[in-house]
Structure 1
Amino acid sequence: MSFNKKAHLRDNIEAIRIAFDLDREGRTPTPSERETLESYCGFGGIKAVLNPADKPEDVQHWTKTDSELFPLVTELHGVLRSGSE
């Protein structure tokens, strides 16, 4: 099975979103949420998560290969910002 960076990012973003929701709501996860949380596996294989993604023009500084991940990395950064407020 090959490593699909987009799917990996989507899954991790959803797990992070759920973790923030659970913390904010002070509740335990549903079985479905638990399954999503258990699938979280970090970002070690996706260096692009460290790239700036605050504004649309930031993508100009990304490699061509990583630029396809820009929308998901932007979403990730937004989820992290809003969840840590």
Structure 2
Amino acid sequence: MAITINWYYADTRGNIGYIHNGKYPIRPECQDFRLPASGTGNCEWLGIRPFSENPQDFDTEQGYFYNWNNKPRIDWVGSSWGSADRVHVII
């Protein structure tokens, strides 16, 4: 399954939803995801995070979602999102 894909939902009753799709590993403390693993086997993944931990939201109070290649959630760990999340340019 592809990762870093955002899915949005809207219906005629005004319901909206957002899910950041994918399967994400539970990494041990010794692994810096930004760098290649050592290859010694000491930093093997500990499993896959439950889908319920993926960034998602439904029917927000503000009534909308915005995204422009920014982090899917403030505390989301991932690769470089740029010097500033571009979404702040449009909101």
Structure label with greater radius of gyration = 2
TM-score (norm 1): 0.26
Greater RCO, CA 8 A, separation 6+: 1
More strand by share: 2
More helix by share: 1
